[in-house]
Amino acid sequence: MDLNRVTLIGNLTKDPTVKALPSGQAVSSFSLATNFRWEDRESKAKKESVEFHDVVAFAKLAEIINQYVKKGSKVYLEGRLRTNSWKGKDGKSRRTTQIVADNLIMLGHRGQREVKAESATA
């Protein structure tokens, strides 16, 4: 059995961008920041690191994200990892890893709203 599952809670670093594939299907892209906090054992100082995650969503989920989610929004996100590989113009191999979202819950003061992907395409 294999499992490719990602669960994150974080904040959008900028407004999502939406495009249409040649098929007409909507694609939304955004970056999600997550924080990790700990206390240094020796100095007892509080420390923090931030991770930035590239996220993509398709179809109805992409449309809803573009309509309701903005920079700074806190969201709960479920999805899977996808790695893309290509050759750059300089001939070097490039790779990027994205999270393909299939469930998103908007967190915050206005209540919570859950949005699920209707179909896992692309």
Q: Which pTM does this prediction carry?
A: 0.80
- Is the per-residue pLDDT at 119 higher than 50? no
pLDDT above 90 as % of the chain: 76
Q: Show Cβ contacts of residue 120 under 8 Å, excluding neighbours closer than 6 positions.
A: 100, 102
Per-residue HEC secondary structure of 73-117 comes to CEEEEEEEEEEEEEECCCCCEEEEEEEEEEEEEEECCCCCEEEEC
Model confidence over 93-115: pLDDT tens digits? 999 999 999 999 999 755 455 56
CA 76 to chain centre: 10
Model confidence over 42-93: pLDDT tens digits? 898 998 999 999 999 999 999 999 999 999 999 999 999 999 999 988 999 9
Domain segments of the chain: what residues?
Answer: 6-38+47-116
Q: What is the mean pLDDT of residues 26-53?
A: 93
> What kind and span of H or E run contains 3?
none
Strands 93-107 and 46-58: parallel
CATH top-level class for 6-38+47-116?
mainly beta
